[in-house]
């Protein structure tokens, strides 16, 4: 029996698709169900289901698999959803830029990052900026380093605060603070009884890492500390947030590596120990990046604040 091939995209798709289709599909993917997405968006489940069916019809592909417990993206659906998120982010940046121009008398600063805002130097710096300039609007964006770099290039972000180097054309950089690398453990793990844990102590363990930043950098650091594959722990990469990784640790499925700014965003049943290489604590360096042609006064004031707070190499340590 001949199996029909995939439906071709509708010729009217470019005119029929609207932002509501993208928002509905992204919300359904995030919530894992049409009901949850409808509650999130404040709409009826039947309306949201119809909108997503229209979206699939116009594209000619199934975006979701439906089952009794909810929905999950299909393989082509994952590609569509990734682009849908990017489009919604760019649209949001367009609106924010327009508002910034309209409210240019008070100013606006947009900062991208891929670390925790729960505590530490990033939180303290942003709070001080708001204290000094209460009339300035502050927008924060947490994304992958690749997407943050793209947002900096296209001007939708004023500043990035990330670990490591970020080679971009026509950009400037400022060294900021450093943070210790810690190991997160279940409270009853054998290593939790030690004050300090060494990299070599991780042999034979299962290390859970998020595929979100800075997961890849933490993995690279681990590999650099334990060069021999036989000496390394088993590394499991999960496509979930750092918060979910902590939940997995509390379920005794493994341990993980975190930065010290993650400690305040705690999860019950976890303990943190400093990772050392000999006598030295392992650290990640943070830097600020911005475009040389960005003349935003709010950016210049924030850079001045950062320069005052972190003017010495040991600042933030």
pLDDT of residue 34: 93
pLDDT of residue 1: 45
Contact 143, 254 (CB under 8 A): no
Distance, in Å, from the CA atom of 180 to the CA atom of 275, rounded to the nearest integer, reads 8
CATH fold of 178-283: D-Maltodextrin-Binding Protein; domain 2 (3.40.190)
Distance, in Å, from the CA atom of 289 to the CA atom of 47, rounded to the nearest integer, reads 43
Which 8-state DSSP code applies to residue 192?
G
pTM: 0.64
Q: Three-class SS of residue 76? A: helix
Tell me whether domains 13-85 and 108-177+285-309 share a fold: no
Residue for token pair 């994304």: 143
Among candidate residues 82, 91, 72, the one with its CA nearest the CA of residue 18 = 91
pLDDT of residue 316: 45
Distance, in Å, from the CA atom of 119 to the CA atom of 310, rounded to the nearest integer, reads 17
| CATH, range 108-177+285-309 | 3.40.190.10
pLDDT of residue 169: 65
Note the pLDDT tens digit of each residue in 31-54. 889 998 999 898 999 999 999 999
User: What value, to the nearest 5°, has the Cα angle with vertex 253 and ends 249 and 259?
Assistant: 35
User: What values do phi and psi take at 162, rounded to 5?
Assistant: -140, 170
What does each C-alpha distance from 314 to 61, 162, 286, 305, 317 come to in angstroms?
54, 17, 12, 17, 6
Q: Three-class SS of residue 317? A: coil
pLDDT < 70 positions in the chain: 1-15, 93-94, 96-106, 115-119, 168-169, 264-267, 312-317
What does each C-alpha distance from 160 to 21, 85, 106, 217 come to in angstroms?
30, 20, 21, 17
Distance, in Å, from the CA atom of 180 to the CA atom of 164, rounded to the nearest integer, reads 14
pLDDT of residue 313: 46
Could you say which architecture CATH assigns to the domain 13-85? Orthogonal Bundle (1.10)
What does each C-alpha distance from 1 to 60, 62, 268 come to in angstroms?
22, 22, 56
Indicate the domain borders of the chain: 13-85, 108-177+285-309, 178-283
pLDDT of residue 3: 45
pLDDT of residue 160: 93
All residues at 6 or more sequence positions from 218 whose CB lies less than 8 Å from its CB, including other chains = 181, 209, 257
Extract the runs of DSSP E, i.e. beta strands, from the chain: 64-67, 70-73, 108-113, 137-142, 159-163, 171-186, 196-198, 206-210, 234-238, 256-259, 270-277, 280-281, 283-291
Integer-rounded Cα radius of gyration of the chain: 23
pLDDT of residue 98: 64
User: What values do phi and psi take at 125, rounded to 5?
Assistant: -65, -40
What does each C-alpha distance from 237 to 113, 209, 316 come to in angstroms?
21, 5, 30
Among candidate residues 189, 195, 228, 188, the one with its CA nearest the CA of residue 207 = 189
Note the pLDDT tens digit of each residue in 124-158. 899 999 999 888 888 888 877 888 888 888 888 89
């Amino acid at each position: 029996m001949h199996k029909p091939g995939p439906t071709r995209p509708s010729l009217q798709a470019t005119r029929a698709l609207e932002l509501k289709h993208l928002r509905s599909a992204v919300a359904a993917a995030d919530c894992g169900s049409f009901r949850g997405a409808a509650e999130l968006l404040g709409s009826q489940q039947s309306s949201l289901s119809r909108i997503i069916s229209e979206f699939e019809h116009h594209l000619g592909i199934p975006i979701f698999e439906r089952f009794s417990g909810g929905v999950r993206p299909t393989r082509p659906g994952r590609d569509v959803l990734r682009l849908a998120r990017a489009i919604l982010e760019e649209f949001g940046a367009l609106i924010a830029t327009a508002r910034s121009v309209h409210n240019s008398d008070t100013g606006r600063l947009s900062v991208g990052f891929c670390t925790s805002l729960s505590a530490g130097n990033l939180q303290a710096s942003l709070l001080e900026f708001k204290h000094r300039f209460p009339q300035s609007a502050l927008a924060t964006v947490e994304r992958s380093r690749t997407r943050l770099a793209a947002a900096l290039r296209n001007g939708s972000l004023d500043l990035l605060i990330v670990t490591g180097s970020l080679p971009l054309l026509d950009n400037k950089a400022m060294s900021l603070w450093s943070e210790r690398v810690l190991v997160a453990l279940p409270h009853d793990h054998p290593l939790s009884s030690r004050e300090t844990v060494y990299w070599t102590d991780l042999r034979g363990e299962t290390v859970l890492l998020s595929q979100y930043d800075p997961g890849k950098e933490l993995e690279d650091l681990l590999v650099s500390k334990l060069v021999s594959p036989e000496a390394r722990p088993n590394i499991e990469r999960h496509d979930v947030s750092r918060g979910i990784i902590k939940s997995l640790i509390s379920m005794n499925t493994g341990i993980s590596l975190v930065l010290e700014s993650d400690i305040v965003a705690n999860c019950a049943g976890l303990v943190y120990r400093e990772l050392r290489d000999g006598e030295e604590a392992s650290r990640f360096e943070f830097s600020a990046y911005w475009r040389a042609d960005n003349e935003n006064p709010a950016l210049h004031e924030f850079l001045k604040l950062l320069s005052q707070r972190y003017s010495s190499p040991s600042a933030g340590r």
